[in-house]
Copies of this chain bind each other. A is one copy, B any other.
Amino acid sequence: MTKKALFDPVGHESLADAVVAQIEDLIASGVLKQGRQLPSERELAETLRVSRPKLREALHILEERGLVMIKHGEGSFVAPLTGQAMLPALLDLYGRHEPAFFDYLEYRREQEGFAARLAARRATRADKERISEILTEIERAWKANDADASREADFSLHSAIVDASQNATLIHMMASIFDLTQQSVFYNRDFLKTLDGTGKKLLEQHLELGQAVIDGDETRAEKAALDHIDFVEQSFRQGLEQQRREAMAEKRRLMAQ
């Protein structure tokens, strides 16, 4: 092992390395999430105040490291970062395989509680403003009975809370789950309404969760998150039972003819 010296050779960072460092920092911290399109090269070079060739050099380093995907004529994107633990095929299986689905909810329950606790502790002013805006939108969408807007705002709230946790690993891990669940059958709001036809309880739970984070109340935020997932699970159980009852009733009706 080399002898330690008082002065070390100056490892002067190249311009491309400096650009790489900044973009990697944004990715590592969860600010730039996988799949996100980067600004165009011309725009990004201008923003960073470097030349396009040098920016391209940096982007190629990032591509070599598996962090960025560059597509000719389309753009540059943050590459998939979390191993896709759940492919669509597995999600479809979850939809068919009831116990596995409830495993997913159990796991999700733990993560949401963890995220809510951290978010209540760490949310910045900007985080709280973002959550407050989403709560306003959630309430508006409920009053307008706008299912698509409600669904969108629902995901926005959970996403904002995970972001407010300031935990980069949790942000990355949950981002992949959000993408998958947003696309699939899991978000069956009809089931969610079986316990109360108007969705008012769902609304109250979202408002309580968001407000607890804004108020910085860790215990209350965690409880709200866990209650919410418990409610979701209960609704799905009852929704499945009701489906089964209706299926059997239909069979009985057919047999009675």
- Residues of A in contact with B (beta carbons under 8 Å apart): 4-13, 15, 18-19, 22, 26, 28-29, 31-32, 39, 44, 47-50, 82-83, 85-86, 90, 100, 103-104, 106-108, 110, 114, 166-170, 172-173, 175-176, 179, 247, 250-251, 254-255
**Contact between A172 and B86, CB atoms less than 8 A apart:** yes
**Contact between A100 and B28, CB atoms less than 8 A apart:** yes
Q: List, sorted by A's number, 15 A–B pairs whose CB atoms are closer than 8 Å.
A: A5-B47, A6-B251, A7-B47, A12-B15, A12-B50, A13-B18, A82-B176, A85-B169, A85-B172, A85-B173, A86-B172, A90-B172, A103-B167, A107-B169, A173-B173
Contact of A169 among B6, B82, B86, B250 (CB under 8 A): B86
CA distance A254 to B6 in the complex (A): 7
**Contact between B170 and A39, CB atoms less than 8 A apart:** no
**Contact between A10 and B48, CB atoms less than 8 A apart:** yes
The smallest C-beta distance from A60 to any residue of chain B, in angstroms, reads 16
* Given A48-B9, A100-B28, residue A107 in contact with residue B254 (CB < 8 A): no
* Given A107-B167, A172-B86, residue A10 in contact with residue B50 (CB < 8 A): yes
**Contact between A44 and B4, CB atoms less than 8 A apart:** no
**Contact between A4 and B167, CB atoms less than 8 A apart:** no
Contact of A168 among B4, B13, B22, B100 (CB under 8 A): B100
The smallest C-beta distance from A140 to any residue of chain B, in angstroms, reads 26
* Given A170-B107, A173-B173, residue A22 in contact with residue B6 (CB < 8 A): no
The smallest C-beta distance from A39 to any residue of chain B, in angstroms, reads 7
**Contact between B7 and A254, CB atoms less than 8 A apart:** no
Residues of B within 8 A of A106 (CB): 167, 169
CA distance A114 to B114 in the complex (A): 11
Contact of A5 among B7, B83, B254 (CB under 8 A): B254
**Contact between A18 and B12, CB atoms less than 8 A apart:** yes
Contact of A173 among B15, B107, B255 (CB under 8 A): B107
Residues of B within 8 A of A108 (CB): 169
